[in-house]
């Protein structure tokens, strides 16, 4: 099992397969994708070596992310490489939903279990103002299709003071009738968005209190779960998750490691740099990969320093997948 010096165990791998994205979310890539980095993304055989090596070290859940992962033509093959690896029990993906309606069948056939779709607003005009795309309706149709196919769906929404902060009631009304988990993510500062962050960060703490005051109960967290505190309510078909990276002890339950699309291990979302493990993937040597991972994990720190404005080498989250 992969375990760090603080006793945290790593069951969960977040695998970025591209940093390219077709959206222009105002908090992430406001000017769109800039082709200014290496685009030599991990190939399928490298991904197979990677996934099997992690699985042998106790990883049970993989989340495929990006950039926008659905822009990769071999996405179904990548999902399949994950879902067929011995020991992997859960394959999830985070996507902007652009190709959800057209491609969900292929993803499910390949073994995808759950999906996080980013929807920052249920108002089409606001959605378009945030993402640069008038695609809300198609994405909502795709979500219905995914639910009908038995996929567990979560919705990611980043709350922003000057945009969608007032939309909590809309989201709640939707959750009354829709069996999804809505995860409200606190806006995080990255290297590129300092001013936007200062103008738009909304704390999750008062929202948490508001939920409790209105009869929402907190669920117990599973060992392979993500970082959200989840809440349920008997009158609602959906649930709510709060992701509060600025909260006390956020890092104490860290159970995930990240691999960038070019094969760099990131010990934290806000680490100074990624650690290159690609040579071990290219040599397809699982033992060497496992030894390298265990050694590199020795440098994982207890916490990020985001609350002090330290964003490490992370210019925006499309680089690594959030």
List residues binding ligand SAM (CB under 6 A): 21, 27-28, 65-66, 68, 94-96, 118, 156, 158, 185, 187-188, 190, 193, 317-318, 321-322
- Residue 155 Cβ vs ligand SAM, minimum distance, rounded to whole Å: 9
CA distance 312 to 12: 22
Does 29 contact ligand SF4 by CB under 6 A? yes
**CA dihedral over 310, 17, 127, 233, signed as positive or negative:** negative
Interaction between residue 186 and ligand SF4 (CB under 6 A): no
Indicate the residue among 227 and 263 with the shorter CB distance to ligand SAM.
227
Question: In this complex, which beta carbon is closest to ligand SF4, that of residue 23 or of residue 174?
Answer: 23
Q: Is 132 exposed, middle or buried (0-12, 13-18, 19+ CB in 10 A)?
A: middle
Residue 53 DSSP symbol: H
DSSP 70: G
Closest CA to 204 of 182, 219, 176, 179: 182
Cβ at position 68, least distance to ligand SF4 in Å? 5
Query: Which of 28, 64, 242, 259 contacts ligand SF4 by CB under 6 A?
Result: 28
41 part of the interface to ligand SF4, by CB under 6 A: no
Q: Which of ligand SF4, ligand SAM, none has residue 29 at its interface (CB below 5 to 8 Å by kind)? A: ligand SF4
Within 8 A by CB and 6+ apart from 185, the residues are: 156, 157, 158, 159, 243, 322
Contact set for ligand SF4, span 68-107 (CB under 6 A): 68, 96
For residue 194, the surrounding DSSP H or E stretch is helix 194-200
Residue 301 CA, distance from chain mean position: 20
The listed partner (ligand SF4, ligand SAM, none) that binds 228, CB under 5 to 8 Å by sort, is none
57 near ligand SF4 (CB under 6 A): no
CB atoms within 10 A of CB 76: 18
Out of 10, 23, 171, 236, point to the residue binding ligand SF4 (CB under 6 A): 23
Residues that bind ligand SF4 (CB under 6 A): 21, 23, 25, 28-29, 66-68, 96, 118, 318
């Amino acid at each position: 099992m992969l375990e760090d010096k603080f006793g945290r165990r790593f069951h969960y791998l977040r695998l970025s397969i591209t940093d390219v994205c077709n959206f222009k979310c105002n908090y992430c890539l406001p000017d769109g994708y800039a082709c200014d980095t290496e685009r030599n993304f991990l190939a399928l055989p490298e991904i197979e070596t990677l996934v099997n090596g992690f699985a042998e070290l106790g990883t049970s859940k993989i989340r495929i992310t990006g950039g926008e992962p659905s822009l990769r033509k071999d996405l179904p093959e990548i999902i399949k490489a994950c879902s067929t690896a011995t020991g992997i029990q859960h394959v999830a993906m985070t996507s902007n939903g652009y190709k959800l309606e057209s491609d969900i069948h292929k993803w499910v056939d390949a073994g995808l279990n759950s999906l996080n779709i980013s929807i920052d607003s249920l108002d089409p005009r606001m959605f378009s103002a945030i993402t640069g795309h008038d695609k809300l309706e198609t994405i909502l149709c795709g979500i219905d299709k995914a639910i009908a196919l038995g996929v567990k769906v979560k919705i990611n929404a980043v709350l922003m003071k000057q945009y969608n902060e007032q939309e909590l009631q809309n989201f709640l009304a939707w959750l009354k009738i829709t069996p999804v988990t809505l995860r409200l993510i606190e806006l995080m500062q990255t290297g590129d968005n300092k001013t936007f962050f200062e103008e738009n960060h909304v704390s999750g703490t008062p929202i948490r209190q508001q939920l409790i005051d209105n009869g929402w109960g907190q669920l117990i967290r599973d060992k392979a779960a993500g970082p959200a505190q989840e809440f349920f309510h008997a009158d609602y078909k959906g649930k709510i998750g709060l992701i509060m990276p600025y909260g006390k002890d956020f890092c104490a339950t860290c159970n995930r490691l990240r691999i960038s699309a070019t094969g760099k291990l990131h010990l934290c979302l806000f680490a100074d740099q990624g650690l290159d493990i690609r040579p071990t993937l290219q040599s397809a040597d699982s033992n060497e990969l496992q030894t390298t991972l265990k050694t590199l994990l020795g440098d994982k720190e207890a916490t990020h320093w985001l609350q002090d404005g330290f964003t490490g080498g992370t210019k925006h989250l499309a680089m690594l997948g959030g």
